Structure 1
Amino acid sequence: MDSNFNFKKVFEEKFLSYIKISSQSNASAKEVPSSQGQWTLAKVLAAELEDLGLEDVYINNFCVVHGVLKKRLKTDRDTPVVGWVCHLDTVDVSQSPDIKAKVIRSYPGGDIVQNEDLGIILKEADHPELKAYVGQDIIISDGTSVLGADNKAAIANVMTVLQYLKENPQVDHGEIHIAFVPDEEIGLRGARKIDYDKFKVDYAYTIDCCQLGEVVYETFNAGSGRVHIKGVSAHPMSAKGKLVNPLMISNDFINMLDRNQTPENTEGREGYIWVNGLNSNVIEAEISLNIRDHSKIGYENKKAYLRQAVDLLKLKYPKAEISIELEDVYANIYDAVNDDNRECIDNIYKAFEELDIEPITLPMRGGTDGSFISSLGILTPNYFTGAHNFHATSEFLPMDSAEKSCLVTLKLIEEAAK
């Protein structure tokens, strides 16, 4: 490895430049991408990929950036074609879309003042994980937004490694495909818009989880649901036997769900049904749901239960019009793993061993772009960015961990080239 290449310095410069481009996704938008900032970032990245020597660089109609680094080997041989997928959007959690970052050099320990004017403090008592990074450089936001390591740390990681490869032509590598996609945070919309006739890889990776050592190749099976209820309106003075209140039917439906199978009452591999929206008036109501389970059987059973609950409501309220729509959003990565393709997962653990990283293997209570991509037959496991507290104003990124993540990416490239 080129000891003159400063991974931390290059990564930091790239990361800080990317997070300056506001790219929150917008769940209420129907088009992909859902925000203009993602187009801005995509154009910056496409130009940078070309400068780094990638070929076939383009942005498709849905803001997916694609580029190919052609194979470079001292001796011609077959090697797997490997992809990396990172998402352009940052999450919208009702905070500022504009990220203002600051770098804490040689973190001394204790509380960190994120924003003196607003009195925002990252307290060590609330975040004891900070203690592990005393003496290291840490990047934080000013407390008015997330930091955006999810997923601009991944973009900076990939771009840093591509720069390393450009500056070190002696390093062997196979063919590498890059896809930067929009709108991961609002249902993995961008992963569905990759041009898979061009993104022809044997397997791929995402870099979309948190602290040093995390590995994810188990995710939820995920779906969304909407229950539509149309009642019968009547004036209260003559409503008996006539009025059918959609809000009361909604209440009956929600009470048919198991309170022990909700997000706030589950953990680990336990699935849930989450009622996350209810809109109603005197005529109509709509209930929105999320369905999650690591087990495919458990996931299908939850969907079946919801359909049965609606059928019971139809019997109880024959004058009402009640229906349910269920949509599969993504699948468990693990269901795509087999003896023929699990080498890409094994290579993560090989890289960790060589870099002296203790693996933390997690069943993710969520999904990544890899959850959708794996369902297409392209196994796409996930490894750490190094950041903590995704989707929170307390999000922070230790630079030593970010560097280790870059080195994992490089090791995976080198392993594939063998």
Structure 2
Amino acid sequence: MDVRKELISRFFRYAAIDSQSNGSEQSLPSSPGQAALAALLADEMRALGLQDVLVDARAIVTGVKRGSRPDAPSIGFIAHLDTVDVGLSPVISPQILRFEGKNLCLNAAEDIWLRVAEHPEIRPWMGEDIIVGDGTSVLGADNKAAIAVIMTLLGRLDQQELGDVFVAFVPDEEIGLRGAKALDLARFPCDFAYTIDCCELGEVALETFNAASAEIAFTGVSAHPMSAKGTLVNPLTMAMDFISHFERNDTPENTAGRQGFFWFKDLVANDSEATLTCLIRDFDTEGFDQRKRGIAEVAERIQLDYPTGNVHHQITDTYRNIATSLVHDDRAVALLFQAMGELGIEKKLISMRGGTDGAVLSARGVPTPNFFTGAHNFHSRFEFLPVPAFEQSFEVALGICRLAAVICARS
């Protein structure tokens, strides 16, 4: 089977498994479909001759394609099993449509169209096959396109040409990078790794946000309105006053590029208590630390304003900017850029306003940049994957493995 056919076949097979993560569940994995996909991938990895294939109770799959070049670095590839829950159907129905410059009908029964005027990013793919969904769900190229790339790669690697190639598939990336945090690095002992996640043809992410979440708990004093004066402390008012101390435009909807933000995301309150959650994001480490200090300082101020109430805050780091690890080992980036250059792919560096499993691995000592799957409009019913870009993602992965054995020596 040629590469194009195999990539498409694998993508359709993996997309057919509902593996949407569930943020309301604390278990890992958060949904049974992820475990089903993990089991399928483990079986396929064994059939491809990988060694040390293991899928554990948390649906974390690992294995290694052994090479015969001990002087070559060991490389890792990691992708996530889950698709995102944005309130659409968890059932993905991919299809291939030819783009001839006209609007694409995704679903005639429900009159859902991908309109060129609304999505001009499709224009460069005139005359090409495009993988789309049926408009009732995301397509799931994030991240099943990456899984298809990695699995296709494993079947085409000649062990005489490379060092060891480690693979990990992890659950629940979309709800806090949970799988990457739980990955036993003894099962993934590579020198450096790559995530293949989101991004159109040529896009490379060498930096992500530093990320943290804050939970601020307000305890008030309840009282009947007839005797409330001087006694009642409304925890909802405390929470609103807390939010008011932050710049109104320092939010996701008012920032772009390398600008950070605070995102007050959830507020649950009653007469006695209120709990506010906030996401903290910043590319710059100093700015990130200042934002976390800002949460603590405002909490102290609200406590002074409401002396008979109580304010408690907790800040938890989620992931770190991958750039901090890449400065110590640039082999992964050098290989990636050379592979793209030899394929004639223009690199488009982006500051990823989000996180990847690579951000977790980088913070844990495994430098892990990210490159493109080739798809567009992630987390949307209008997500689409041009087949030529999909193929180029595979070619880059293959090129990295082959180049590593030629130009890199194990450090």
> Structure 1 residues 171 and 132 mapped into 2: Cα distance closer, same or farther (>3 Å)?
farther
**Which residue number corresponds to residue 307 of structure 1?**
296
Output aligned runs, 1:187-206, within 5 Å. 187-206=176-195
**Which residue number corresponds to residue 84 of structure 1?**
77
Output aligned runs, 1:10-29, within 5 Å. 10-29=6-25
Q: Any unmatched runs of 5+ in structure 2?
A: 407-411
| TM-score for both structures, normalised by structure 2 | 0.97
Of 96, 109, 130 in structure 2, the residue corresponding to residue 138 of structure 1 is 130
User: Alignment partner of 2:40: what SS?
Assistant: helix
Give the Å deviation of 1:162.
1.1
Give the Å deviation of 1:170.
7.6
Distance 2:365 2:223 in 1: 54
Q: Find out whether 1:392 has 2:380 as its counterpart.
A: yes
**Which residue number corresponds to residue 219 of structure 2?**
230
What is the letter of the counterpart of residue 126 of structure 1? E
Distance 1:287 1:333 in 2: 28
What is the letter of the counterpart of residue 242 of structure 2? F
What is the letter of the counterpart of residue 48 of structure 2? L
Distance 2:58 2:50 in 1: 20
Q: Any unmatched runs of 5+ in structure 1?
A: none
Of 232, 240, 253 in structure 1, the residue corresponding to residue 229 of structure 2 is 240
**Which residue number corresponds to residue 393 of structure 2?**
405
Distance 2:254 2:323 in 1: 24
Q: Find out whether 1:362 has 2:350 as its counterpart.
A: yes
**Which residue number corresponds to residue 260 of structure 1?**
249
**Which residue number corresponds to residue 409 of structure 2?**
none
- Percentage identity across paired residues of the two chains: 46
**Which residue number corresponds to residue 416 of structure 1?**
404
Per-residue CA deviation, residues 29-62 of structure 1 (Å, 9 max, x unaligned), is: 1111111000000000000000011000011221
| TM-score for both structures, normalised by structure 1 | 0.96
Of 312, 325, 341 in structure 2, the residue corresponding to residue 323 of structure 1 is 312
Distance 1:43 1:61 in 2: 10
Q: Which runs of 4+ in 1 moved over 2 A?
A: none
**Which residue number corresponds to residue 169 of structure 2?**
180
What is the letter of the counterpart of residue 406 of structure 1? F
Number of residues paired by the alignment? 406
Give the Å deviation of 1:209.
2.3
What is the letter of the counterpart of residue 358 of structure 2? G
- Conservation of the 8 A alpha-carbon contact between 2:233 and 2:308: yes
RMSD: 1.0
**Which residue number corresponds to residue 115 of structure 1?**
107
Per-residue CA deviation, residues 202-240 of structure 1 (Å, 9 max, x unaligned), is: 000000121100000100000001110111111111100
Distance 1:115 1:198 in 2: 43
**Which residue number corresponds to residue 345 of structure 1?**
333
Distance 2:258 2:150 in 1: 30
Per-residue CA deviation, residues 171-225 of structure 1 (Å, 9 max, x unaligned), is: 6111010000000001100001111122111000000121100000100000001
What is the letter of the counterpart of residue 153 of structure 2? V
Q: Find out whether 1:275 has 2:264 as its counterpart.
A: yes
Distance 2:30 2:12 in 1: 23
Q: Find out whether 1:155 has 2:147 as its counterpart.
A: yes
- Conservation of the 8 A alpha-carbon contact between 2:11 and 2:148: yes
Per-residue CA deviation, residues 368-399 of structure 1 (Å, 9 max, x unaligned), is: 00001001111000000000000000000000
Per-residue CA deviation, residues 65-102 of structure 1 (Å, 9 max, x unaligned), is: 001111135xxx41101100000000000110000111
> Structure 1 residues 280 and 81 mapped into 2: Cα distance closer, same or farther (>3 Å)?
same
Give the Å deviation of 1:366.
0.5
Per-residue CA deviation, residues 3-31 of structure 1 (Å, 9 max, x unaligned), is: xx621111000000000000011111111
